[in-house]
């Protein structure tokens, strides 16, 4: 009989009290969800994507509902890294949260600048959003070219001692190539998947619904793709993985962990069910109890391929 469940996981040397993380961009800086759960309840909170200077984001419309998911082109609206360090980070740390700072930019120098600024703070980890367009390379996203992934990861690695997570883009032919590139360049962990590029058109006006024409698709529709990619990456690298993409239930969280995720991130589902992280954790506990599993880490990579 199991006396006490061990829900803790360790990602790149950082202890999470449980495997539940919020996906960057879906919970702001945690304030909006306080009536549903305290930030310290989570294994970690990945905050809204940060840029060197404040950004107003893209003009509306920038959200569109699609079957079993949503498209967004928010455009990295955020108060800037300095405001985060001054206001949001101290509050989150005082509340006992494990904090992952998500950084984004349009040049390698942007990422390096933020890594240096955050390196002297008490943020727990950095997560690089490499799905951003590289303005110096004609707008090609950093994360779609393994060579570019290796270059930017290496550059940022040299600027910080913080555990470095590279968030992989699914908009590639072979996600294991970019995963291996990040590993070679010194990444401490990987998170995947970021949103898939999608589009929705209003047939009456013949205009795209989103002002930016295209946007990132998230939600349950992308879940099987995310599971497949996590499984492929788990078999390609030895780094810890935070799996995400369409997780809305405990069963899906467990499935993602069986595919190879050490922890899981919850995102789009929180817009319709803000209590999803609490419900998912309770479901994981029940699964562990029902199956005689003492440590949640025993689930990771447990899939039995045919």
Which residues participate in catalysis according to the annotation? 132
CB 163 within 8 A of CB 15: no
CB 50 within 8 A of CB 126: no
CB 31 within 8 A of CB 85: no
DSSP symbols for 142-181: GGG-HHHHHHHHHHHHTT--S-EEEE--S-SS-HHHHHHH
Q: Which one-letter DSSP state was computed for residue 113?
A: H
Distance CA 240, CA 271 (A): 27
CB 242 within 8 A of CB 11: yes
User: How many other CB atoms sit within 10 Å of the CB of residue 105?
Assistant: 26
Question: What sign does the dihedral 291-296-297-303 (CA atoms) show?
Answer: positive
Helix or strand or coil: residue 55? strand
User: How many other CB atoms sit within 10 Å of the CB of residue 272?
Assistant: 10
């Amino acid at each position: 009989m199991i006396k006490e469940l061990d829900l803790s996981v360790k990602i790149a040397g950082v202890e999470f009290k449980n495997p539940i993380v919020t996906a960057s961009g879906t919970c702001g800086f945690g304030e909006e969800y306080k009536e549903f759960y305290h930030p310290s309840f989570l294994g970690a909170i990945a905050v809204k994507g940060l840029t060197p200077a404040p950004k107003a984001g893209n003009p509306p419309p920038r959200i569109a509902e699609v079957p079993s998911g949503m498209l967004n082109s928010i455009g990295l609206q955020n108060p800037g890294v300095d405001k985060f360090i001054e206001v949001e980070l101290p509050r989150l740390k005082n509340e006992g949260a494990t904090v992952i700072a998500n950084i984004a930019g349009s040049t390698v120098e942007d990422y390096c600048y933020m890594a240096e600024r955050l390196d002297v703070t008490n943020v727990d980890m950095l997560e690089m959003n490499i799905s951003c367009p590289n303005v110096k390379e004609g707008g090609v996203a950093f994360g779609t070219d393994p060579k570019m992934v290796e270059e930017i990861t290496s550059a940022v690695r040299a600027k910080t001692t913080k555990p470095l997570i590279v968030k992989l883009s699914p908009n590639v032919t072979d996600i294991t190539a970019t995963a291996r590139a990040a590993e070679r360049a010194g990444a401490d962990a990987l998170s995947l998947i970021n949103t898939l590029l999608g589009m929705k058109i209003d047939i009456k006006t013949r205009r795209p619904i989103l002002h930016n024409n295209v946007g990132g698709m998230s939600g349950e529709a992308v879940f099987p793709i995310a599971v497949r990619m996590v499984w492929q990456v788990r078999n390609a690298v030895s780094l810890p993985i935070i799996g995400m993409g369409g997780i809305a239930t405990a069963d899906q969280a467990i499935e993602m962990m069986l595919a190879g995720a050490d922890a899981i991130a919850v995102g789009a589902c929180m817009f319709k069910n803000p209590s999803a992280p609490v419900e998912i954790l309770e479901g994981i506990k029940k699964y562990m109890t029902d199956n005689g599993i003492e440590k949640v880490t025993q689930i990771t990579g447990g899939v039995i391929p045919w």
